[in-house]
Each structure stands twice: as C-alpha cells, then as structure tokens.
Structure 1
C-alpha cells in the first residue's frame, strides 16, 4: 500500500471536507440492545461465517469490479449480480424497469421492509480498463471502492444469513441500484420510491464508501444544469459583429461565481458551487454557434441551494442580454437551461432508532461514530422522512472516482459484520 503524506494544504482540504462531521453518542438503551443482539449464538456464528467467507467475498469483489458498469450501461454487471444473489439463496430476484437488481428475502411476519443496498454504476466511461491490479495488499481498479465493494458486502450479508439460518421478522430487500453517480441523478433509488417500486420501504440502509465509523444521516442536496448559449456562428473576421456564445458564457460564469461566492460567506450551512465542464466552438477563426457548461451547487440546506439556483438564472439572463445588446449584426443569441440533476436535501433525526442503532453498532465494534453529510442514495428516503443512512464497507480505500482507485482489505470483515448487525437490529430476529 502506498504511503500517503498529508501536506499542510492537503490536510486543510481534508479537514474542510469533514468540518461538519459530528461525533455521535448512542443512548445506553441502544448500546444494550446491540450488545445483546451481537452476543446471540446465531449472530456470533454469522460473524464467524463472514470471516470464513473472506476469500469468496474478495473473489466476488474482483469479479464484479472487472465487469464495467459505465453510466447508463449497468446491464452486464446487473445480470451477473442478479445470478449471484439468486445463488446466495434469496427467495426471489428480479430486475425492475430502470435496471435495479432486487432480491427479496421474506420475513416471518413481513410487516416491515428493510433495504440493504449498494450501487452498481461507476463514474468511468465505456472502454475504461477495469482489470484489477494486485500490488502487495492493495487491489487497484476504477470503481473498486466506489461502489463495487458494497455489492460484495451486500452479497456476503445475504449468504451469511442463509448459511446460519437467521430468519428476520421483516422482509429484507438486497439491492444493487443503477444511476447513483453523476447524471444518473439517483434514478435507481428514485424508482424504488415511485409507484413502480417494490412497495412500501420502512428502513433504507445504503452502503457507499469505506469509512465504517461514519453514519451518513444528512443528505447533501444539489442542482445541476447544462446551460447552452446558441447563435448563428460564422467567420471570425468576415462575420465579426455577430453575437458570440462564448462571450455570453464567460459573462455568465463570472457573474454567477461572484454572486455565489458572496452567498457562501453568509451565515448558514455550507454551500458550494462549481463550473465543472465547458465546451463548444469549432476552430480558432470561427465564431462559435454554441457554447455550453455544466454546473452544480450543493448544500444540505434546500433554501441555500434554491438561492444559489436563482443567482445562476439571474447571471445567465444578464449575460444573454448584455451580449445581445453588444452585438453589431445578426440574430439574437438564445440560451437553453436544462436541469440535469436534482438531489433533494434532508436531515435524519438522530433520535431515530436506525441512527441510534448504527451508532451503537459502531461503538460495539470498537470505533467512535461520526455523523456525516453526503450526496448518496439515502438522500431520497431521507428527504421523504423515511429512516435512512449510508454506511461504509470497511477496509481502507482511496482515489475514488479516479483511475488509480484502490482498496485494502484491512479487517474488511468488520464492515460486513456491522452491515449485518444494523440490518438485524432493524429487521429483527424471528423467534
């Protein structure tokens, strides 16, 4: 494993990212409940089964990582994952209308439904080499930690329950979702909570990232836009005087960033803004016929996202008007603003049994729970007032969303044991 040295600048960046993390302390009632649950003979047996399954879990992890799952093209990985869930012993397995793979394990009374989920898609485009490289104790490949490790965790939890005969009171859905990343816009989990979903979901546990002491109970909301300025285009000299979409785009960026930056300095929950991608134009001596950008803004406060959104609209309108006023000839420029991402914000009440149980699980496993915010699949149920969290897989990872993504199996079984324990705490062990 490569040793990472934190420079002062990098340390500042890392601390800023987690500045709003909060240490959590579970109520004694939940600590007692989790200790009692973890010490049941059948749970101890399941814990050992998870340890014994380490070679198979790693093999599953590698197999799934090496099946590419680019944005909107998760079908091949989904087919493989469905067959693995079926082989693990689920009562029924199906793929829904958007591509989510869903496995049902029926509960004794079925009065409640609990979800344990990882997302199948990665950020990497079609053609990316996803072959896993073994570098000592490190596994490296695009997508190996975000979020393919979670798929192997979900699969091992199901298998351990089957091998040890654990029966729950609640129905449990083991799910691999599509569309968590980027412009997927959480389409998989949105479908689960639509009228095309599997029915009422009472508790939602997403697995994403590796930090097993984190309890993500706050949804970081975001708006994302693709903004395109359009004009007639022409020769840079012969058609000089036409409205230039690049000029308008540049103005819009400047106006929005200045206004949004002022908003970030106002008191309140953290707000971020970003111009992530820009494009357009055909040659250095041509007036472009279009110029576009993709932007996002994020906050766990829906009000702050809405305010930043309004500033964006105002900046675009001002830029368009100024460029059209400045042009000397030709048709007016036009602009198209397309919302390409809308992730709702929300905050889960820390008094909820799910959050209390998870903090107790982490404490029982010997760590200190940290209450965090993130933009994950749990945003959707949290925004709907449904108990939901996102937890880590365990182990150690890094370079998420980068080609040299890596993961080390540093007591990775503990993350799987935690996932099992929180699932049983919420689904209940049938007597």
Structure 2
C-alpha cells in the first residue's frame, strides 16, 4: 500500500475580478479643521526637531529591524521575540513594560492628562512562518530579504523609534500611550493578541487604536473585513474498498458539501449588498487508494465587511454540510452512520467607522501634509477588534517599499522609510495631544 499525503487544493469558488486593493478609494481632502491642526503641529519647533531626529535615528532603526527579524516568531511561539522586544521597549524609555497572560508585550508612557485618555500604537510580533524557517536577513544591494521582514517586523522597529524620538526631544503627551507588540495577528492566531487587550485581562480602557501593518504609507484601513473560518471533518468507520464496500464514505459527503455550498454561495454572493467571498482552501483525509477513508476534512474561509453577509454565507455552509451528511448516510448499504465535526477556527469581526471621526481625519490630513494622497480601505488587521466595538481605530503602513509578503522571499527596501515613522508620530501626537 502507498500512503497518499493530504492534498492541499485551493478552489476559487468565487472568481472576483477585483482584489482588496481595488476596493481602496481616495480619501479626498481632510476637513479644513484637521488640516489646520496638522499644519499647526508640523510648524512647532519641537515637531520639526522630532522629524529630524527620526532621520538621524535611521541606522539604529535599521539595526533594530534586522535584529528583531532574525528572532523567530512562528505562530503561537512568539515568546523569544517578545522577551527581546520588552527589553528594547524598556531601553527606549517607556515608564513600564510587561508581558501579559498570552504573550503581548505592553508598555506605557504616561501622559500629563491624568489618565483620562489612552492611545495605542502597535505592531504585531508574529509571522506566518513555521518553526525552523531560516529568518537570517540577506542583503542584496539596498534591499533586505527575510521571512517577516515587512509583515510585520518593520512595524516593531517603527514603534521603537517613535518612543526614542519622544524621549530625545522631550515631547510629553496629554494622553497615556501604550506601545504594544501583539501576538497572534496572522492566520489561525485569529487576532488573539488584540482580542485579549479588550478583555478584563487587558491593560484597561483604550480610547484610540493605531496599528501599523504593511508598508503602504498612503493607506488607512478603517473598515474591518470580517471572516469566519471552519475545519469541517466527516468521520466514519473506514475499511477495505472491496471488503467493506457499502459503508458510508466521508469523501463522498465532503464532495457533496463543497458542491452544495458553492452553488448556494455563488447565488448569495451575486445578490445586492456588500462584497462577500468564500473559499475551500485545504482538504485532506484518506489512507490509500483501496481504503474507504475514516475521515475527510476541509478548511474553509468566508469574508465580508458586513456582519450580516458573513452570517448569511455561514448559514449556507451549515445547511450544505448537514444536507451532505444526511444524503450519504441514507445512501450507505451497511455499517454505522457518518458523523461530522464543525469546528470554528477563525472569527474576525466585521465593521466600519465613519470617516469624519477625528482619528481618521487626522490620519488623512497627516498623509496629505507629506504631499501624498490618502486612500481609505478595508482590511483584515488587528484594527478589526476595536473597529467592531466602534472604538476609533486605523491601520497604517510602516513606510518604505516591500513585497512578497508571507513568502520566503519577502523583502523590504528603505525608500524614504523615515517618512513612515514621521507619519506614525504625527498621527499619534495629533490623537494623544502635546502637553503644554
């Protein structure tokens, strides 16, 4: 007998002609009130000094970036990087640093406002790459190559440089600022780090949330692309393909479930409403060509920025699974019925924020102050959680140029990367306020 490996097949059940970036839209000009506010900030001598300090810190920022990239942070195993990051945050000058119950690194720089407001600036520590991946940074000319170097390790170095800049220039904020490195942003981490921040085990009330993820300095994510992900496993007794013929076959049930869901979901996705997508990403099961499998499983994903659309396409999946189970059990000639295990492995909430919110207007005005055009977009990032709770939140880029995210040949180029840090600092200062 030969053993057949689980086959990973990607079925693009929804053929969308436009990707997420095609959903980006120009932000248009910021409200004049916020243009004036940002102009007033950038005219302050101390902010001009801070911008210059960021440029002067470039070699140190790059050194931090490389050092952290070369500390592995695979899913659910971020602790080595977390311990080092906590050490670096403390050295940068924050007041307190701690690692919470699930591994988030949280640091606080107290403001002068008596704790009335708290603003977060955050990057995620985890990468998508499994344990054992070579994360050594390779230099090719002026481009850096390494798994995770752009997504999202650059953000961690940006956060550090923002703290160092505040310390070197003596800028104090009105609001308390939490500088955080989170765990579990990627994949089946399911935003577990940021979810924990908004529980009773978190650092307390959070009033505004600024996440740094990706590198596009002009983009502002203010709409949360929610998703449900399942692992669905049909189980049966299994047996010899001839000797046990007539037993219910888990593969037959899985095939039916995929078919019924894709047909129903196709109609649903074409109906009026916000865009919704669905996908069967991974399937597996079986032992050999002449064996009735004892299990057959699939992992599926569905997404929309509308909670109702996610819920609707989820319901179609549940109906398809139960229909497939009933039909296969009815068709069997002997033996025990199949069972099915439906396990939710990912739940990212949807939501959106009004673009007139001060945080979003400040981000737009900041990007425009650099002579760039801000774009508003939907995304699946750590901001999903505060957005779903209607807490002002955005995700911004770290700056520079990057590519091949989630691939072994991921790269980052320091093309005016300092502007991304200046961008983050200015948005933070506008939101947290400069103490008088």
State the TM-score, normalized to the length of structure 1.
0.96
- Unaligned ranges ≥5, structure 1: 1-11
Match of residue 32 from structure 1: 36
SS of alignment partner, residue 107 of structure 1: coil
Match of residue 69 from structure 2: 65
1:193-212 equivalences in 2 (<5 Å): 193-212=198-217
Deviations 1:297-341 (A, max 9, x none): 000011100000000001101111111111111100000101111
The correspondence for 2:275, drawn from 267, 270, 273, is 270
What is the root-mean-square deviation in Å for CA atoms of aligned residues? Answer: 1.1
Q: 2: distance between equivalents of 1:333 and 1:385?
A: 43
Q: 2: distance between equivalents of 1:138 and 1:97?
A: 37
Match of residue 426 from structure 1: 431
Match of residue 225 from structure 1: 230
SS of alignment partner, residue 76 of structure 2: coil
SS of alignment partner, residue 254 of structure 1: helix
Offset at 1:19?
A: 2.6
Q: 2: distance between equivalents of 1:36 and 1:15?
A: 39
Offset at 1:13?
A: 8.0
Match of residue 24 from structure 2: 21
Q: 2: distance between equivalents of 1:284 and 1:173?
A: 56
State the TM-score, normalized to the length of structure 2.
0.95
Match of residue 9 from structure 1: none
Whether the 8 Å CA contact 2:306–2:350 is kept in 1: the answer is yes
SS of alignment partner, residue 297 of structure 2: strand
Q: Is it true that 1:85 corresponds to 2:89 in the alignment?
A: yes
Q: 2: distance between equivalents of 1:15 and 1:232?
A: 44
The correspondence for 2:408, drawn from 399, 403, 407, is 403
Match of residue 126 from structure 1: 131
Deviations 1:45-91 (A, max 9, x none): 11111101111111111111111111100000000100000000110
- Unaligned ranges ≥5, structure 2: 1-14
Q: Is it true that 1:175 corresponds to 2:177 in the alignment?
A: no
Whether the 8 Å CA contact 2:54–2:421 is kept in 1: the answer is yes
Q: 2: distance between equivalents of 1:23 and 1:343?
A: 25
The correspondence for 1:350, drawn from 352, 355, 362, is 355
Q: 1: distance between equivalents of 2:89 and 2:359?
A: 25
Whether the 8 Å CA contact 2:232–2:341 is kept in 1: the answer is yes
SS of alignment partner, residue 18 of structure 1: helix
Q: How many residues align?
A: 420
Whether the 8 Å CA contact 2:20–2:379 is kept in 1: the answer is no
The correspondence for 1:257, drawn from 249, 253, 262, is 262
Offset at 1:17?
A: 2.7
Q: 1: distance between equivalents of 2:378 and 2:406?
A: 18
Q: 1: distance between equivalents of 2:19 and 2:101?
A: 40
